[in-house]
Chain A
Amino acid sequence: MRTAFIQQLIEEARSNEKIFLLIGDLGYNVVTPFAEEFPDRFINVGICEQNMVGIASGLAMNGYNVYIYSIGNFPTLRCIEQIRNDVCYYRGNVKVVSVGAGFAYGSSGVSHHATEDIGMMRTLPNMVICSPSDPSEARIITHLSASYDGCMYIRLGKAGEKEIYTQPYTMNIGDIHCYRESTGKSAIIASGSILHYAVNWVKDNNINTAIYSLPFVKPINREQLKALADKHTNIIVIDEHQKSGGVASAILEQLGDLYSEGKLQQFPKVHRLEIDDQFIYIAGNQQYLRDFTHLALNNTLFE
């Protein structure tokens, strides 16, 4: 996913001279093609994320569209006050890009588990939250971000994610994308690379369910969510994040608003397959830690 991002960013930077990339001394080999092609619009600021965000803010105030890139919690939690005060407050044209969503750096330990970032980042006014599920969504989101004048958080997986989509498609900010339709009562909503797992599980177990990708956790298109909830009364949300503040929280908040405004005929069941308020003290790769934290579909969810 990170390679898809950088390739698309290079593509955009060729026609958009305002694109600037800052990295926090991470991205060996990944960002090199950008750095070589656009040396005047690239700085490795060093290992100093607070400074990196401030610099991005100052550049954005002078007309640049600035991407800052680092791993998981470093360009987000480490410097969240800078993001709040120096970027979001101005609706600055800054794109915070993190690599290693969820347990992608599983065996590296809790420092590298990006499992609270959505909750923290989505409370910030003006911030758009993107969580692509595969390289093609990462490319589309990067393309959208290049012309979007404002702040965005782009939460990338890592490397080697398979392309889920066989057909090219387009999307707008906030879109919920229907990957697999169904007339049955159930729908899975997946955000991030765990969509791939959901798609395979449904196929292997021959389950009658719709599958939706949620590439944008904020904003969420309300009309599309309403249509989804009108069709499906049993919703299973799966993402690699704490329950607190995560994707299911975001969906439930919107559903709650729709229901209280009288726009939903009934409130659907919402199952939350997310991390249950815990740190993981044992090592494991991404799949191991997903299993360990019960981010797993099972037949009873669809009954």
Chain B
Amino acid sequence: MRQNYTELSKKIRILTLELAHHARTSHTGGALSMVDLLTVIYGGDIINISPSNIDDPQRDRFILSKGHCCAALYSTLALTGFLDPQELKNTYGDNGSIYYTHCSHKVPGVEISTGSLGHGLPVAIGQAIATKAAKTNANVICLTGDGELDEGSNWEAILFAGHHRLANLCLIVDYNKIQSMGNVKDILALEPLDDKFKHFNWNVIRIDGHDFEQIENALRNFQAETTKPTVIIADTIKGKGVSFMEGQLLWHYRNPNDEELKIAKEELQ
């Protein structure tokens, strides 16, 4: 299993970089930081999402709220059978393609369109209420960035989910510690983040967001929880996997040129 995850995550990272290179888009670092989380969600057998059930009311829902990093989600979808990888690679961000460079619900497997921050979690809550009312076992997972938690709409939603004990809702925070203009701790500090969620009556799990076993365990922990919404605070590294991108604010904005793409791919392979 873990070897498969390793292989899949490498492929996702390479395709993500190829997309960024093709479309000359920003947000490379934040896309790479969440790849291992996406790898377990889409590449494992814990979460019930597959190309064959995208319209099934019983499916689990995954909502990417940090839609600016959709290159990693599209790459994951392409490498797990939802999309044609070649078509994605050749047309991402191009005129006339369905592949906007922020999340689009027109892309098969993508639940909602995002790009403006703080929208995903409230919609995820509506989904969680509906799937619960329909007496399905469907779970709803929403992934946000860390800087994204600056948005007040998230805290409205966090307060609501705790109050209503939405145990079928899981928030994953891709905590890569860097937001648009600098370090999260310098711009609008989130710590103590675990305690904040605890005080909002959430089940709080803190993990290394690049450790597949910890990610799997956290998702299983979420599925076993019956009285509270779960937050998985995943400590991650911006630009993870490419040495010259890791922890560098610059790669929030940059995309690799031909030479950098070549070096990055060699590193990952």
Which residues of A pack against B, CB within 8 Å? 40, 43, 45-46, 48, 50-64, 81-82, 85-86, 89-90
Contacts of B152 in A (CB 8 A): 50
A50 and B113 contacting across the interface, CB-CB below 8 Å: no
Q: A62-B57, A62-B131, A85-B119 are in contact. Are A50 and B126 (CB under 8 A)?
A: no
The answer to whether A90 and B105 touch across the interface, beta carbons within 8 angstroms, is yes
Considering the chains assembled together, what is the distance between the CA atoms of A60 and B116 in angstroms? 20
Nearest 7 pairs of A and B residues by beta carbon = A58-B126, A54-B122, A62-B130, A48-B156, A51-B156, A55-B126, A50-B153
Docked-complex contact A82 and B126, CB < 8 angstroms? no
Set of chain B residues within 8 Å of A85, measured between Cβ atoms: 113-116, 119
Residues of B within 8 A of A53 (CB): 122
The CA of A54 and the CA of B156, in the complex, are separated in Å by: 11
Given known contacts A48-B156, A62-B134, A82-B153, is B125 in contact with A55 (CB within 8 Å)? yes
| Complex Cα–Cα for A54 and B144 (A) | 15
Contact A54 B153 (CB under 8 A): yes
Closest partner residue, chain A, to B140 (CB atom)? A58
A179 and B5 alpha carbons, distance in the complex (Å): 69
Chain B residues, Cβ within 8 Å of A89: 105, 113
Count of residues in B whose CB is under 8 Å from the partner chain: 31
B73 at the A interface (CB under 8 A): no
* Residues of chain A contacted by B123 (CB below 8 angstroms): 54-55, 57-58, 61, 86
- Contact between A82 and B130 (Cβ–Cβ < 8 Å)? no
- Chain B interface mostly: helix
Q: How near does chain A come to B240, taking the closest CB pair, in angstroms? A: 29
A51 pairs with B153, CB closer than 8 A: yes
Interface residues of B (CB under 8 A from A): 57, 105, 111-116, 118-119, 121-131, 133-134, 152-153, 156-157, 159-160, 163-164
A-chain residues with CB within 8 Å of residue B127 when the two chains form the complex: 58-59, 61-62
Can you name 27 A-B pairs with beta carbons within 8 Å?
A46-B156, A48-B157, A51-B122, A54-B122, A54-B123, A54-B125, A54-B157, A55-B123, A56-B126, A57-B122, A57-B126, A58-B122, A58-B123, A58-B124, A58-B127, A58-B129, A59-B127, A61-B130, A62-B126, A62-B127, A82-B122, A85-B113, A85-B114, A85-B116, A85-B119, A86-B119, A86-B123
How many whole Å from A80's CB to the nearest CB in chain B? 12
Q: Which residues of A contact B115 (CB under 8 A)?
A: 85
Report how far A174 CA is from B174 CA in the complex, Å: 47
| Minimum CB distance partner of A63 in chain B | B130
User: Known contacts being A63-B130, A90-B105, is A54 close to B121, with CB within 8 Å?
Assistant: yes
**A55 and B122 within 8 A (CB):** yes
Closest chain-B Cβ to A57's Cβ sits at a distance in Å of: 5
Q: Cβ of B112 and Cβ of A86 under 8 Å apart?
A: yes
B156 touches A50 (CB 8 A): yes
Complex Cα distance A208/B130, Å?
Answer: 55
Q: Is the CB of B160 within 8 A of A48?
A: yes
A52 to B134, CA, bound (A): 20
Are B130 and A59 touching (Cβ within 8 A)? yes
Q: Is the CB of A58 within 8 A of B119?
A: no
Quick one: given A46-B159, A51-B153, A90-B105, are A58 and B125 in contact (CB under 8 Å)?
Answer: yes
CB proximity of B146 to chain A, nearest CB, Å: 19
Write out the residue numbers on chain B whose beta carbons fall within 8 Å of the beta carbon of A43: 129, 164
Q: Which residues of A contact B156 (CB under 8 A)?
A: 46, 48, 50-51
Considering the chains assembled together, what is the distance between the CA atoms of A43 and B133 in angstroms? 13
Tell me, in angstroms, the Cα distance from A197 to B133 when the chains sit together.
46
| Most chain B CB inside 10 Å of its own CB: which residue of A43, A53, A54 | A54
The chain A residue sitting closest to B157, CB to CB, is: A51
Question: A159 vs B113: C-alpha distance in the bound complex, in angstroms?
Answer: 38
